[in-house]
Amino acid sequence: MNEIASAEERLGTAGVARRAVDGAESQRASRLWWDADADDYLAEHGPDIGDADFVWCPEGLREADARLLGDVRGRRVLEVGSGSAPCARWLRTQGAHPVALDLSGAMLRHAAALGTATGLPVPLVQAGAERLPFGDAAFDVACSAFGAVPFVAEPERVMREVARVLRPGGRWVFAVNHPMRWMFSDDPGPDGLTVQQSYFDRTPYVEVDAAGRATYVEHHRTLGDRVRDVVAAGLVLDDVVEPEWPEGRETVWGQWSPLRGALFPGTAIFVTHKPR
Ligand SMILES: C[S@@+](CC[C@H](N)C(=O)[O-])C[C@H]1O[C@@H](n2cnc3c(N)ncnc32)[C@H](O)[C@@H]1O
């Protein structure tokens, strides 16, 4: 029987390059990658993220407990980089009116199927977070759990776009890899405890095919860069939440593990709002 090809095999990933990648190439690579990887991603992480649950990060922080978005009942909520949209479906159970946006058609196909399966369909929009197809002040709240922001070359554009589509007073809360993770390899084991590269080196991580075209891209911002992106968009930074690894949590989720979680943060959640 033939093994089902991995995203790397389907995209012909030939190696890793460290080089500059502009916005267009980043978006093209992300779309290719998440389309090719959607089935595997959900097979691996579906049980952790749930069908209609809002889990902010591998540390297992749930919006049901953290309430970083405030009271969402009756609110118009945009989820940016929703993937299969479990967060948007959970928001629906809380009386919100969510819209789930993602670049990847394959991810959104999973979102549509899960919407039907759970009886919690949500409106789905396929678009890049760098240019949101909504009018000004169309939403009361926006959120993202590792969607879009780590993968775009110009995150300041995403911040500006989210600020534009939020009404004055609206909240924007987004979770990303904690910037200090950049120094380490993506290894959840002991080899992932040794610094491999400079925190200050913003050169993107790029996987490439045999012709040198990007097939996967991740961009790094220091903590200060992220704060500047938020502030430059006219938003107010209210908090940076660094969820701690809960005692007794044994889950290994990609590069996140109890071993590393006991020593340094894996996730940073930026809580911001648009001034009135
Ligand atoms: C790590 S997944 C997270 C998905 C979801 N929030 C979850 O927790 O499962 C990242 C998602 O960001 C989306 N994405 C990447 N770049 C994007 C962009 N420029 N605009 C919108 N979505 C993007 C991908 O398609 C993918 O679904």
Q: What is the pLDDT of residues 68-119, one digit of tens each?
A: 999 999 999 999 999 999 999 999 999 999 999 999 999 999 999 999 999 9
Report pTM: 0.97
Detail the DSSP E strand segments found in 83-153.
Answer: 97-102, 124-126, 139-145
What pLDDT, in 10s, does the model give residues 180-234?
999 999 999 999 999 999 999 999 999 999 999 999 999 999 999 999 999 999 9
Integer distance in angstroms from the first to the last C-alpha of the chain?
Answer: 60
Crossing angle (nearest 10°) for helices 86-93 and 105-118 = 30
Q: How far apart are CA 33 and CA 132, in angstroms?
A: 21
Tokens coding 241: 């939440």
Interval between CA 232 and ligand 1 midpoint (Å): 23
In the chain, where are the structural domains located?
A: 12-177+185-273
- What number does the ligand 1 atom closest to the CA of 26 have? 19
Tokens (6 digits) for 28? 């093209």
Average pLDDT, the chain: 97
Check whether domain 12-177+185-273 has CATH 3.40.50.150, yes or no? yes
**CA quadruple 28, 142, 186, 34: dihedral, nearest 10:** -30
* 209 CA distance to ligand 1 middle (Å): 21
Cα(253)–Cα(60) distance, rounded to whole angstroms? 10
Render pLDDT for 159-184 as a digit per residue (tens, 0 to 9). Answer: 999 999 999 999 999 999 999 999 99
- Nearest 10 degrees: Cα torsion 210, 256, 41, 30: -50
Could you tell which of 108, 130, 151 is best to mutate to test the pocket of ligand 1, judged by most ligand atoms within 8 Å of the CB? 151
- Whether residue 257 contacts residue 181, with contact meaning beta carbons closer than 8 Å, is answered with no
Contact 253, 48 (CB under 8 A): yes
Cβ neighbours for 53, distance < 8 A, ≥ 6 positions apart:
62, 86, 87, 90
**CB-based pocket (< 6 A), ligand 1:** 27, 30, 34, 49, 81-83, 102-104, 107, 128-130, 145-148, 151-152
Distance 117 CA to ligand 1 centre (A): 21
